[in-house]
Amino acid sequence: MADPLVSGPLADPDLDSLGNLLEYGMGLDPNSPDQDKLPVPQFVQIENESFLALAFQRHAGLTDVIFSIEISSNLKNWAESFIPASSPVSNGDGTESIILRHNLPIVSSDPRQMVRLKIRRR
């Protein structure tokens, strides 16, 4: 019988802060630490406005998982509202890099914004 602490979707046998399901979706090895592959928050400039964005790697062509990105200003209420900032770029190893940005610009009245990457099975 499989051990859910090792092979479960939220298990992290390599202790790199990425659960098995996320490592699968990102095209990573769940038995090898990949801290350098963590999603990276950044800003995208369009004209004179800044948008919060998240850059990450995903396994190209997967149809059994769905990625979503959410934003919050209080860590309690989360909203999904991201759009591609550009087309995915092939990494040549079966994965692709993508940047998704918030659809609303950052405003000075709400300076704190947190972003998170979610993955779920279809």
> Are both 83 and 115 inside the same structural domain?
yes
19 and 55 within one domain: no
Identify the band that residue 111 occupies on the pLDDT scale cut at 50, 70 and 90.
low
Q: Does 88 lie in the same domain as 107?
A: yes
Could you tell me if 53 and 87 lie in one domain?
yes
Tell me the average pLDDT across 98-115. 83
Residue 86 and residue 114 share a domain: yes
Q: How many percent of the chain have pLDDT more than 70?
A: 95
d(CA 58, CA 77) in angstroms, rounded, equals: 26
Shared domain check, 69 and 10: no
Q: Of 101, 103, 105, 100, whose CA–CA distance to 48 is shortest?
A: 105
Side chain identity at residue 82, one-letter code = F
Both tokens of 85, joined, read: 């900032």
- Mean pLDDT, rounded, for 105-117: 80
Per-residue pLDDT reduced to its tens digit, 50-67:
999 999 999 998 999 998
Whether residues 3 and 63 fall in one domain: no
pLDDT at 87 over 70: yes
Quick one: average pLDDT of 61-82? Answer: 90
Give the model's pLDDT for residue 73.
85
For residues 78 and 113, membership in a common domain is answered with: yes
The answer to whether residues 43 and 24 belong to one domain is no
Residues 75 and 21 in one domain: no
Has this prediction a pTM greater than 0.75? yes
Convert the chain into a string of H (helix), E (strand) and C (coil).
Answer: CCCHHHHCCCCCCCCCCCCHHHHHHCCCCCCCCCHHHCCEEEEEEECCEEEEEEEEEEECCCCCEEEEEEEECCCCCCEECEEECCCCEECCCCEEEEEEEECCCCCCCCCCCEEEEEEEEC
